[in-house]
Amino acid sequence: MKTLIAILTRYPKLIGSVSVSLLIVSFLIVFSGPDLSLGVRVDPSIKSLLPNSGEEIEFLENVEELFSSDDLLLVTWVGEDLFLPSHLAKFKALSRKIEQIPGVEDVESLATAIRTKVFEDYTEVNPYLAELPKTKEQATEIRDAIVKNPLYKGYLVSDDGTGLMISVRFKRNLTAQELIKKVSLIDQYSEQSASGIEQFLSGPLFVRLEISRLLLEDLYRVMPLAVLVTLAVLAFGFRNLRGVFLPFLSNTLALGLTFSIFILNGNLLNYVTVILPPTIYVVGFAYSVHVMSDYERYFHSQISVIEAVKKALDDVLVPVSLTAITTATSFFSLTFSNIESIETFGLYACLGTILAWISALIFVPVGLVLFGSNKRKGSVTKTGIDKLVRLLAENARARGKMVVLSGVLLCVISLWGVFHIDVGTNYLENFDKEGPVRRDFDKMSDVFAGAVPMQIVLSCHQVDCFKEPAAIREILNLQSWLNEQVEIGGVYTFVDYLGTLEEALAPEKVDGDPVPNSKSLISHYLLLGASEDVRRFADASYQSVLLQVRLRIVSSSAINQLSERINDRLTLLNQDLVGKITGSSYLIAQTLDEVTQGQVWSLSTAIIPIFVVLALMFRSLYLAVIALIPNLLPIVVFFGVLGWIGIPLNLTTSLVASVVLGIAVDDSIHFFARLRQKVKKEVSRPLESTIGSVIRPVSFTTAGLSFGFIMLISGQLLSQAEFGLLVAFTLVVAWLLDLTFTPALAHWTRMDSN
């Protein structure tokens, strides 16, 4: 401690110059912009939301190699007169134009959909728009033909012919920024080609891109607004420039250095890591405010700037260090997650916590030494605070048991609400109900079979297994069952493909049973009429087939509930067949709920380092358990509120508890560490003295951060606004408990006496 103070007071200018230089460099890296290779960017891909490895990921990758990816961009045209020669010409031209964009792997549309025609001497296999219609009657004939084709009805064309779709699949090696640019280009092409026809882009991929774009916009717009609010609170509390700018610069330095390393390592912001800036700012804000508050308290006692800095560091070094170690360890536990985004969040939140701790204990004291003023305003603001401190201490002593029992009752009520929590993430609800993204997504789901894809793979060990009528019938029975599920809008299978071949090659055999009656007949159809299009549904050895399912649901919980029913149905397949669900939307739904529940579990693991720190502080397991209660109660209240109000526990709301736990730990450890110091020094009225030393930083921290998080309601994503309001609410709950429940618990358990 003495060595640290000696270095800070001997070389303040050198340390200050290094700090400012680091601040400038980090600022240039973070805000270098899109024209340079650095700068903050977002990642809309599904990779960050999926496990790094595992059987499900390996299976999805194999399916994508064998068949194709289902992570699609959907370009939609809607209108009553789409099947006119002029409109079809524009639609075909658009399809061809999209095909020529570098990075586009495959395009499916009316222009590429295969139509099989059988003539007396030959069979013709060509796209529906191989030759553009010259008359309205020819265009109508194409419409009537394709809406009867089970392979495309509800997928590439609506049932009534009022909607046309282009399904675009991109190469998997595209970066996020390349993908965003290509989608923007396709949007321009579609708008130009449609020339008056209603058109829009949609689908899960497009929605993720929109979320990514808005996340970045909100980060640059809302975060500065939130910071300004916290600075306003500091200005009101400290009423001097040093009390505002030193915590701000300290936090900015920690945040800037963390994100510089984040960017230089090639990381991108995604749905999880976007919460890093407010998390790191929360931690740094609390540490800096504690240093400043203790300095102000000693400075106004008429001692020199250097002495005030020394005494402040002497008071805050242990509690701030314990808090930093505890919080950093809790964040680091997340790096053991199998989800890349959670692992990255945990690593850089841990790094940001350590840098915020170092910055608060070095940058703020150095700033005070360099720019500290000898002008004092006296203790005019202490009278009201002293009265409140005496009131809180007296309440803890006189009504401690009742306050503690009230806290227990609050915990019981909250736990009752916990059992009513719904778990599920609906990324579409990020957007306003009347906004274009949600409106277009809903419209596409209504016009077509559904916007959310799911894949089901059936496989067997025998070559040519799916040329056997019995195996084909299993597909048909499963398809019929799937179509009965209300969440499913359409199912496209190998049976549909064989049906189109039979209708073209042997129309006299078409009857009420779509399954050909012999393996040789199926082989004959495939030999004569199959095109490359067959690879949408079957592999080359006919040992695996793919069922393409279109869902009308988006919520991860709804998708997972449907998946459970489908998995139960797959167990009823012929014993020679094995069925498995896969696809990007399916895995994302599973992962979102697993990540959400994993966040709750990580809170449980975070309790361990907190408990160890408290046990070492008190040298008593009993006292450590008692001191742990104020850290957990705000979190229990938060989860209880979710259950009682009906807010789902999703990927966003599950992060609230992690952020609030950092503040709750900070405040409670400061309280108990200060109380321990007062008791050891045999200070008179230790409980009152402890409350007096923590009330200002705890209150400033809570007010600044609560108002800052409330500013998230000005963002464009509803999930971010919900996150901000919930964090603010829980921080206020934690603050009220720290000033009432914690002192009462300390007195009731006699922690305030030797």
Q: Please check the confidence at residue 253 and state whether its pLDDT lies above 50.
A: yes
- Which structure tokens are listed for 47? 């990779």
Position 71, amino acid: D
Do the Cβ atoms of 77 and 201 come closer than 8 Å? no
Rounded-to-integer distance, Cα 623 and Cα 506, Å: 84
Q: What is the full DSSP assignment across 422-490?
A: -B---GGGGS-TTSHHHHHHHHHHHHSS-SEEEEEEEE-SSTTGGGSHHHHHHHHHHHHHHHTSTTEEE
Q: 96-100, 116-120, 199-203, 241-245 — which is least confidently predicted?
A: 116-120
The per-residue pLDDT for 58 is: 83
Q: Calculate the alpha carbon distances from 668 to 463, 593, 684, 739 in Å.
A: 66, 31, 21, 10
pLDDT band at 381 (very low <50, low <70, confident <90, very high): very low
Confidence of residue 64 (pLDDT cuts 50, 70, 90): confident
The answer to whether residue 44 scores a pLDDT higher than 80 is: no
DSSP output for 207-235: HHHHHHHHHHHHHHHHHHHHHHHHHHHHH
Paired strand residues for 74: 167, 202
Q: How many CB atoms lie within 10 A of CB 29?
A: 20
Q: Pick from 106, 110, 100: which is nearest to 69 by CA?
A: 106
Rounded mean pLDDT of 476-500?
A: 93
Residue the block writes with tokens 């009423």: 239
Say if CB 334 and CB 342 are below 8 A apart: yes
Q: Which has more confidence, 648 or 454?
A: 454
What local confidence, expressed as pLDDT, does residue 35 receive?
Answer: 45
Residues 6+ apart with CB under 8 A from 75: 94, 98, 165, 166, 167, 168, 186, 190, 199, 201
How far is the C-alpha of 259 from the C-alpha of 263, rounded, in Å? 6
Report the pLDDT averaged over residues 700-708. Answer: 85
Q: Answer yes or no: is pLDDT of 153 > 50.
A: yes
Q: Contact at 8 Å (CB) between 584 and 60?
A: yes
Averaged pLDDT for residues 669-683: 82
Residue 36 clears pLDDT 50, i.e. is over it: no
Is the confidence at residue 532, as pLDDT, over 70? yes
Short-list 684, 693, 694, CA closest to 753: 684
The more confident residue out of 527 and 348 is: 348
Give the dihedral sign, CA 93/98/101/104. negative
Alpha-helix runs per DSSP H in 265-339: 276-299, 305-332
In whole numbers, what is the pLDDT of the chain averaged over residues? 84
**Cβ–Cβ under 8 Å, residues 566 and 471:** no
- pLDDT at site 302: 66
- 303 touches 311 (CB < 8 A): yes
> pLDDT band at 6, cuts 50/70/90?
low
* pLDDT given at position 566: 96
CATH number of the domain located at residue range(s) 440-582 in this protein:
3.30.70
The model's pLDDT over 263-292, given as tens digits with 9 standing for 90+, comes to 888 888 877 787 788 778 877 888 888 888
pLDDT tens digits for range 591-603: 776 666 666 666 6
Q: Which of the given ranges, 217-231, 250-264, 649-663, has the highest pLDDT on average?
A: 250-264
Give residue 21's Cα distance to chain centre: 33
Q: Could you tell me the pTM of the whole model? A: 0.79
Highest mean pLDDT pick, 221-230, 241-250, 458-467, 580-589: 458-467
Token look-up 């579609």 returns 190
Is the per-residue pLDDT at 380 higher than 50? Answer: no
Encoding tokens for residue 278? Answer: 């407010």
Strand partners of residue 581: 456
Closest Cα to residue 500, out of 210, 115, 182?
A: 115
Percent of the chain, pLDDT > 70? 90
pLDDT score of 476 more than 90: yes
CB atoms within 10 A of CB 480: 11
pLDDT value of position 226: 82
Q: Candidates 3.30.70, 1.10.3470, 3.30.160, 3.40.50; correct CATH number of 70-208?
A: 3.30.70
Structurally, what CATH architecture does the domain formed by 391-420+591-754 represent? Up-down Bundle (1.20)
Q: Which residues contact 391 (CB under 8 A, 6 or more apart)?
A: none
Residues 6+ away with beta carbon under 8 Å from 709: 226, 278, 723, 724, 725, 727, 728, 731
Say if residues 298 and 308 touch (Cβ distance below 8 Å). yes
Query: In the predicted model, what is the mean pLDDT of residues 378-382?
Result: 48
Please give the Cα distance from 379 to 284 (Å, whole number): 27
DSSP codes joined into one string, 119-141? -SS-EEEEETTSS--SSHHHHHH
Question: What would be the CATH architecture of the domain defined by 1-50+241-372?
Answer: Up-down Bundle (1.20)
Cβ atoms of 363 and 249 closer than 8 Å: yes
pLDDT band at 24 (very low <50, low <70, confident <90, very high): confident
Element (H, E) at 545: strand 544-551
3-class secondary-structure state, position 555: coil
- Residue 750 CA to residue 537 CA, distance in Å, equals 72
- Write the DSSP symbol of residue 45: S
Q: Is 513 left (phi over 0), alpha (psi -120 to 50) or beta?
A: beta
- The neighbour count for residue 745, using CB atoms within 10 Å, is 22
341 neighbors 49 (Cβ within 8 angstroms) = yes
pLDDT score of 368: 86
The band of 489, judged by pLDDT with boundaries at 50, 70 and 90, is: very high
* pLDDT tier, 379 (very low <50, low <70, confident <90, very high otherwise): very low
- Provide the pLDDT for residue 545: 95
What is the distance between the alpha carbons of residues 729 and 58, in angstroms, rounded to a whole number?
42
Mean pLDDT of 140-157: 90
Q: What is the pLDDT of residue 34?
A: 46
Tell which residue, 265, 318, 262, 325, has the closest CA to residue 290. Answer: 318
Q: Which of 32-46, 272-286, 489-503, 554-568 has the lowest mean pLDDT?
A: 32-46
Common-topology check for domains 70-208 and 440-582? yes
Structure tokens at 188: 């321009």
Distance, first Cα to last Cα, the chain? 26
- Residue 537 gets which letter from DSSP? T
Residue 198, both tokens: 């209603």
Split at pLDDT 50, 70, 90, the class of 47 is low
Gap between the Cα atoms of 367 and 291, Å rounded:
12
Cβ atoms within 10 Å of 172's Cβ, excluding its own: 12
**pLDDT value, residue 198:** 93
Q: Where are the domains of the chain?
A: 1-50+241-372, 70-208, 391-420+591-754, 440-582
Q: Does the pLDDT value for residue 38 go beyond 60?
A: no
When computed from its CA atoms, the radius of gyration of the chain, rounded to whole angstroms, is 32
Question: What integer pLDDT is reported at residue 46 of this predicted model?
Answer: 64
- Answer yes or no: are the C-beta atoms of 186 and 75 closer than 8 Å: yes
pLDDT greater than 80 at residue 242: yes
pLDDT bracket for residue 201 (50, 70, 90):
very high
